[in-house]
Every structure is written in structure tokens, then in C-alpha cells.
Amino acid sequence: MGKIKIDQFSDIKILKYHISNFDNLSNTEKKLIYCLSQAALSGRDIFWDQNFKYNLIIRKILEAIYIKNKDLDNSSDFKYFTTYLKRVWFSNGIHHHYSTEKITPLFNRAYFHKLLKTIDYKSLNSTTLSEAEFIELIEVIIFSREKYNKRISQDSSKDLISNSSNNYYQNITDKEVKKYYNVKKEDIKDRISLGLNSKLYKVNDKIIEETYKENGLYSEPIKKIIYWLSQAICYTQNNQQKEWLKTLIEYYQTGDLKTFDNYSILWLKDTESSIDTINGFIEVYGDPLGIKGSWEANVNIKNEISSKRTEILSQNAQWFEDNSPVNSEHKKSKVKGVSAKVIDVIMLGGDCYPSSPLGINLPNSEWIRETYGSKSVTIENIAKAHLTDSLESGFLEEFAYDKSEIELNKKYGFLASNLHTDLHECLGHGSGKIKEGINTDILKNYYSIIEEARADLFALYYIMDQKMIDLGLISTKNVAICEYQNYIRNGLMTQLVRIEPDKNIEQAHMRNRQLICKWCYEKGKKNNVIEKIIKENKTYFVVNDFNRLRELFGDLLNEIQRIKSEGDYNAAKKLVENYGTKVDKNIHNEILNRYKKLGIAPYTGFVNPILTPIYNNNNEWTDVKLDYCNSYEDQMLEYSEKYSFL
């Protein structure tokens, strides 16, 4: 496969991930993977457009300029332009994928205006604006500090919708959105995820909801997705897989959310297929109200050896629920349908590309989880790519307190991280019970943070449990000690490299991690559970009492489960705002300086492998060839050429 890192720019590095044993698959399995992968790539434009209504126009202009000038302009300004384009590619739009703030170009407006004149920008004007108005619009989008400056606003003191630049809503306020869906909930008795696959906007004081479906909004890419999912049915591994694929197609054709729930139930019940896919409007992190689902896709194959870990956890799910430190009234009396596996990803798309999660637990619908269960995955080849890249970075040597921490991490870090993901996804998200009559929408913009904190705390509490040794998942509690050290170090220090100076934390997962670590640090001060140490003018957070820290994790898990179970919005807000949002500026500046000296990037993305169908002399499809991409630019330009359907 060659070197794993193929590019680095700004705060981003681009890696390759490896797929083992692909050549040992049958031709039918390879064809199934190919068709599902084409479906995973066909919705690319949907996610770009969801992020911001002008993203596709900007991308086309930037790419046209790049193609026209890349061999002609060697200036530093053009290098800045190229970096800007790479960042826009990485973020699927003009807003940073993590901070969601507009990406600032390092070239000026006059230089861009000069570049614009080298291409036929008039043909890219899909608006009704005049030429001068169109140029002004494009330059305002890229250079203005005031306009469209935030994709997702988390400032609860302001209107969350009006202050967000995403394209889920238009000309409407958050109060109008909430009122609209509250009325619909009264009219619709089905427990569907209202608004998940639609855009909501207002015209002449009339609210219009436009559904993503065939012959609806995003029709063209959805037709392509349907085509490739239909082709995949010819190569399915069993009848279960065929049925949920058919139901997924029906959902895309109709946009009916009840059909989506039917698909989700069929999909989670399929525990036999070794090849799997996620494809749809799923995660709601991109909407400050947590209603609208971003389009994402993932094609994967089961890692049979590593899946033995998650199978053991699934088989013992009831024990973990029964022995949870949360109040008995918030526990499930009977855990249903927990299935989990370790996978190797084969293709990433939409909200999973180029930046991939390490684990996934679906479906998100709470009533389906409680009635039928959920399916969880740990993505091992992505985790392994991260590890391989980090081994020589000097990161541990800089931020770990002493040699014992470094050695412990080298010995147990990969297993500890994977087990945390296993517990988080396999059991954490599926644990706990909501009181009758409570809807998680009550937690509003704090729901995602509370939910991620709940799953993380579940994993942190149980990774130290003797049961992990009894089940043969670990041989020593040093694995848990390693994870505790890494988690506290990251939550209180190193994750801050992803935040710009003088900014607070807004991303849900980062808020969750700091909330947990800062709460435990503050609550454990009396007993010096976590100690802040300055050594050689460098700050470290050292865990002194791992057993007491575990108790604190359990206490916080109990409270956060209560918040979710009872829909306690005020308590959620208090926890997040007091512990998860504000940044210690002195530590932040120190961490940024220490990190900068290492010359490594805080964000990681991936290029996908290249799958090529092979035909014989009779034009019969006989095989699929796997290659590894060696150029980030080439892949991005190829995807724009092949999968631009909007």
C-alpha cells in the first residue's frame, strides 16, 4: 500500500486506510461491495448542499481555477489558494468541519478576482444574478467576516437557526421551527423522526417542508443512489440483506419516514451479512436543533477475528445494564437486540468522508432502540491508520507525564481505544431507559452532547470493571488505566489544538469530553484524584487515584442518564455551559505552542481506495480490482467529475 500519509496542509493530514483479504473475497462479494460503494459516492453533492446553499457553486469555481492555473502559477498566493481549496474539499464546504466557522483564505480578494478572470465563470452562474452581482456574491461568500460566518450556531442566547448558515432551513426562526414540528407531532401518531429528511423554509409567511426523495429535493443524486442499491440486490448475501435494501430503496423513492423506520428495523436485525452499508439521512449534529439528518454513507466488511470482542459484549449486555451505576428506574429491565461487530471500512461517503468516525451505533430512533435494539460497529482499520501515523509523531513524548505513561500507551493504547469504542457504541448508546411521555427533543441543542457523554461515561466506567477480565477481554486493568490517562489528557488538554485562540468549544464530541474531564477534575480536587502538575514549564494532568476516578465516572453517568431519562433541559444546559464550553486560555495557548513545535496536524482525513470493475473480452463483468489512491487532489477532482449530480 506504500506510505500511509499522502498529504498534509493547514491543520489537516490525509491518510490511506488498508483493507485486508479483499482479494480472497468471491466475485459476487466484490460486486456487492462495488455497487454499494457507488451508491456511497453518488450522494456526495447532497451533503455539500446541506452544509451551505452556495457550496456547490463555490466548489465548481475553485476547481475550475485550480485546473486552469495549477501548471501556470507558482506564486505563494496560488499555494495559499490551493490550500484553501483543499480545506474546502476536506470540510465539504466553506465552513471548517469541526469549528463550523468560515474558513479564512490567506490570499486576498484582488488576487482571487484575477484568478476568476482566467475561467469561464459566467457558465457557472446558476443564479438569476447579473455578472457583477454574481462576482460580488462569490467574493462576499469567501472573504466577508460577517456574512455566513458560522455553519452551526450553538449560542443559545441567540436565534440558533437565523445565526446558522447551513441549508436545512431558510428564512425561518428556531421558534417557528419548533412550533411547526410540535403541531405536526400532535397530528401524527407514528413515532417517526419528524423533519429528518427535509428542508424547511418560509415563503410569503407560509412554511413549506420539502422532502429529500426521488422526484423531490435532491432527486438526481437520489436516483443514482437508488440505481446502485438496486444493482446491489443482484449480489446480496442472503434474503435479509435483500429485504432491507429493497426497503431502503422504497424509502428513497417515497421519502416516507415510517418506511425509513421499517428499513432500520430490518437492517439492525441482519446480523448474518459480512458486508454491510450505512446510507441515508442519519446524524443530526449539523442542525443546531438536532432535527435534520445529514446524508452519509459507509461500506464495510466484518473483521471476523476482532468481532469476537463485541460479540462477547453483546452476549452480556443485560449484565452491564443490571450493574450500571444509574438509578434502577432509569435502567432497562430487558435489553433487546444488541448486536455489535468490528469492521474494516471499504468506502466512505458524505458526512463520513474524508473525516471518518471510529465507531457507529444505529439506528438513532429511541423507540426502535428500546423495542428492537441497535447495531454497533467499531471501525478497526481506520483506528489502525490513526495509530500507525501517530507512532513516530512525538505526540506522546510531548504530552504524557512520564515514561511509564508512554510505555503503557505503546503496550495497551490500541486495545484500550478500541475497547472504549466497543463499549461506547455497542452498549453505551443502547443503555438506559427514558420515562414514559418524555421525548429527547426536550433537550434541544444539548441532546447530542448529553448522549455522547452518556455513552463515553458508560465505556469509561466499565473498562475498569473486573468483568472485563472475567470475560477475557483484557488480561490486566492496566488497559483501563491507559484509557483513563489518555482520556483525561485529551479532554483537559490535547483536544484544544482543534480550537482557534480565544474561541470556546462548540463541537458536540469535544464539549462532551471536556464536560466529563473537567467535572471529574473539579469534583475530585478534595482527594487529589486528578492533579495539575507544572514540570519544566509544561502543564500535565496526572491521575492519582484510578478507582476514585471510576467512581466519579459512575456518579456523572447516573446524573446524565437521569437528565436524558427525565428530559431535564435546565440541568443539561447547566452541565454543558459550566463544564463543556469554556476554555482555559492559558492552557490553550500553551498546548497550541507545544503542538506546533511537533509539526503535526490535529485533524485527520482519508482517501478512499479505488475500485475498478474488470470485464472479459465478451464484456462480462468478471472481477473488481482494488488499488490505493496516492493523491488527495486527484480523488477530489475525480469525484467532482463523476458524482456531480446537482
Domain identity same for 275 and 361 = no
pLDDT digits (tens, 9 = 90+) for 82-116: 999 999 999 999 999 989 999 999 999 999 999 99
Average pLDDT over residues 56-72: 97
Domain identity same for 463 and 485 = yes
pLDDT at 2: 65
Report yes or no on 123 lying in a domain.
no
Report yes or no on 86 lying in a domain.
no
Q: Is 31 helix (H, G, I), strand (E, B) or coil?
A: helix
Average pLDDT over residues 161-165: 96
CA–CA gap between residue 381 and residue 556 (Å, rounded): 32
pLDDT at 625: 97
The strand pair at 538-543 and 530-535 is best described as antiparallel
Please, are residues 276 and 300 in contact by the beta-carbon 8 Å criterion? Answer: yes
pLDDT at 382: 96
Please, are residues 296 and 278 in contact by the beta-carbon 8 Å criterion? Answer: yes
pLDDT at 412: 96
Instruction: Collect contacts of 230-235 with beta carbons under 8 A, ≥24 apart.
Output: 231/35, 231/38, 232/32, 232/35, 232/36, 232/39, 234/31, 234/35, 235/28, 235/29, 235/31, 235/32, 235/35
**Which of the listed residues 559, 582, 599 is the one where a domain comes to its end?**
599
pLDDT digits (tens, 9 = 90+) for 366-396: 899 989 999 999 999 999 999 888 877 889 9
Domain identity same for 540 and 468 = yes
Domain identity same for 461 and 509 = yes
Report yes or no on 240 lying in a domain.
yes
Domain identity same for 455 and 529 = yes
Domain identity same for 585 and 531 = yes
Q: Which residue is listed with cell 495509530?
A: 387
Residue 437 CB neighbour total at 10 angstroms: 6
Report yes or no on 643 lying in a domain.
no
Report the number of distinct structural domains present in the chain: 2
Three cell numbers written together for 506 = 462548540
Residue 414 CB neighbour total at 10 angstroms: 17
Average pLDDT over residues 282-288: 95
**Which of the listed residues 584, 599, 614 is the one where a domain comes to its end?**
599
Helices (H), 156-209: 174-187
Report yes or no on 9 lying in a domain.
no
Q: Which residue is listed with cell 468481532?
A: 307
CA–CA gap between residue 556 and residue 548 (Å, rounded): 12
The H or E element containing residue 90 is helix 76-90
Domain identity same for 413 and 551 = yes
Domain identity same for 331 and 233 = no
What is the pTM for the complete model shown? 0.89
Report yes or no on 241 lying in a domain.
yes
Report yes or no on 627 lying in a domain.
no
CA–CA gap between residue 585 and residue 587 (Å, rounded): 6
Residue in 295, 303, 261, 259 with CA at minimum distance from that of residue 278:
295
CA–CA gap between residue 423 and residue 418 (Å, rounded): 9
Peptide bond between residue 363 and the one before it cis (omega within 30 degrees of 0)? yes
Residue in 360, 212, 224 with CA at minimum distance from that of residue 295:
212
Owning domain of residue 318: 310-335+353-599
Domain identity same for 420 and 521 = yes
The H or E element containing residue 220 is helix 219-232
Question: How confident is the prediction for the chain on average, in pLDDT?
Answer: 95
Which of 267-281, 436-450, 582-596 is least confident?
A: 436-450
Domain identity same for 291 and 376 = no
CATH of the domain at 228: 3.30.540.30
pLDDT digits (tens, 9 = 90+) for 439-493: 878 998 899 999 999 999 999 999 999 999 999 999 999 999 999 999 999 999 9
Domain identity same for 321 and 273 = no
Domain identity same for 321 and 438 = yes
Q: In what order do the strands lie in the sheet with 12-16?
A: 5-9, 12-16, 603-607
Report yes or no on 184 lying in a domain.
yes
